[in-house]
């Protein structure tokens, strides 16, 4: 199976909170990332969390990490139509003096009025 798993779709109403979930398998991962991809564009780093943290908040974004269950979530408060995009989680594993990322398949977030 895949190293990093995400649900494929999430639909929310504008103004509600969105929660995108991700599970990973490598407990030695040191960084876990959330990226956003809008149509026709590359990936944009939204936020990241170190594996020794449980939570990180950055404006409307909250990342929760449960190391025991290898579960990562991204909460977007007050979701706006401009938040519609594909969201990828990624884990970074140390290799060859650097890091190799493994991405999930991405969750398509659809925000409707």
Judged by beta carbon, residue 24 or residue 88, the one nearer other proteins is 88
Is 39 one of the binding residues for other proteins (CB under 8 A)?
Answer: no
Residue from 16, 54, 99, 110 binding other proteins (CB under 8 A) = 99
* Footprint (CB under 8 A) of other proteins, residues 59-98: 88, 92, 94-98
Residue 106 interacts with other proteins (CB under 8 A): yes or no: yes
Our finding on whether 102 is near other proteins (CB under 8 A) is yes
72 Cβ neighbours under 8 A, 6+ residues apart: 21, 22, 23, 24, 32, 34, 49, 63, 64, 65, 66, 89
Does position 44 interact with other proteins (CB under 8 A)? The reply is yes
Strands (E), the chain: 4-6, 9-13, 18-24, 31-37, 43-50, 55-58, 61-66, 71-76, 85-95, 98-103, 107-112
Instruction: List residues binding other proteins (CB under 8 A).
Output: 2, 30-31, 35, 40-45, 48, 88, 92, 94-106
């Amino acid at each position: 199976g895949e190293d990093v798993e995400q649900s494929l779709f999430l639909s929310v109403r504008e103004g509600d909170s969105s929660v995108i979930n991700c599970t990973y398998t490598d407990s030695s991962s040191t960084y876990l990332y959330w990226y956003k991809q809008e149509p026709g564009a590359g990936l944009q780093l939204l936020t990241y969390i170190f594996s020794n943290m449980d939570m990180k908040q950055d404006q409307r974004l909250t990342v929760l990490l449960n190391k025991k269950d290898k579960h990562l979530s991204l909460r977007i408060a007050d979701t706006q139509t401009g938040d519609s995009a594909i969201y990828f989680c990624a884990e970074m594993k140390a290799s060859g003096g650097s890091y190799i990322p493994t991405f999930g398949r991405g969750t398509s977030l659809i925000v409707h009025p």
